[in-house]
Chain A
Amino acid sequence: EIVLTQSPATLSLSPGERATLSCRASQSVSSYLAWYQQKPGQVPRLLIFDSSHRATGIPARFSGSGSGTDFTLTISSLEPEDFAVYYCQQRRNWPPATFGGGTKVEFK
């Protein structure tokens, strides 16, 4: 089973700042990695698929990069609505289609 480790667990930032979230896989997942955003009381939303492709309607301030075992989600300039929990998920070797433990982006 591929284990995804997200860091940091919590990121304390202010609106307008740049957020950099990491997801590391225990073995290569090629580029088969997605990022999801979950706001309190809401269901997760797909942001990025195949490591770097934005899903429909996702603002350009969200970008993904990486391949193999190391991946990054970058939010170039945080908007108030971006404070949420972010999860990565791999689909390279499944089942199981594992998720990372999540990174919470909170107000500083």
Chain B
Amino acid sequence: EVRLVESGGGLGQPRGSLRLACAASGFTFTNFAMTWVRQAPGKGLEWVSSINYGGGSTFYADSVKGRFTISRDNSKNMVYLQMNSLRAEDTAVYHCVKEGYCGGGRCYLDYWGQGTLVTVSS
């Protein structure tokens, strides 16, 4: 059974930092890209960042580029999201998501973690 368990959320100060972690299990972690998707309270889904299976390629939404860094540790089956220079608009539930159903170089989001809430406020 695929399991994705996020941690590290909580209250962050504006201009401060938080580090989210995602523990993955139930699949061959090294074979799949991973993604972070966020959802602000009462709002829709926003793709944040993705990392390829090896960790050598990373991708970011413009809204977080230069502030957030995605990484992975394939020896520990972990994905991370380092969030710096936090803003009020970063307040959201952050989901760790496994990519799958890949074809033509494109993949989709097939397993989602329950998410961790990040609140940015002074």
- In the complex, per-residue mask of A42-57: 1 if CB is within 8 Å of any chain B CB, else 0: 0111100110010100
Is A97's CB under 8 angstroms from B50's CB? yes
Contacting B at CB under 8 A, from A9-36, are 32, 34, 36
Is A36's CB under 8 angstroms from B109's CB? yes
Q: Tell me, in angstroms, the Cα distance from A46 to B59 when the chains sit together.
A: 21
Task: Given A36-B45, A55-B101, A99-B45, answer yes or no on A46-B61 (Cβ-Cβ < 8 Å).
Answer: no
Q: Tell me, in angstroms, the Cα distance from A43 to B38 when the chains sit together.
A: 11
Q: Tell me, in angstroms, the Cα distance from A92 to B107 when the chains sit together.
A: 10
Q: Does B47 contact A (CB under 8 A)?
A: yes
Number of interface residues of B (CB under 8 A): 23
Q: Does A64 contact B (CB under 8 A)?
A: no
Q: How large is the interface on A (under 10, 10 to 19, 20 to 34, 35 or more residues)?
A: 20 to 34
Query: Chain B: residues with CB nearer than 8 A to chain A?
Result: 35, 44-47, 50, 59-62, 95, 101, 103-104, 106-110, 112-115
Nearest B residue to A102 by beta-carbon distance? B44
What's the minimum C-beta distance from B22 to chain A, rounded to whole angstroms?
Answer: 13
Q: Tell me, in angstroms, the Cα distance from A82 to B59 when the chains sit together.
A: 33
Contact partner, A32, options B59, B106, B110, B113, Cβ 8 Å? B106
Q: Does A98 contact B (CB under 8 A)?
A: yes
Contact partner, A99, options B47, B107, B113, Cβ 8 Å? B47
Is B106's CB under 8 angstroms from A91's CB? yes
Is A34's CB under 8 angstroms from B108's CB? yes
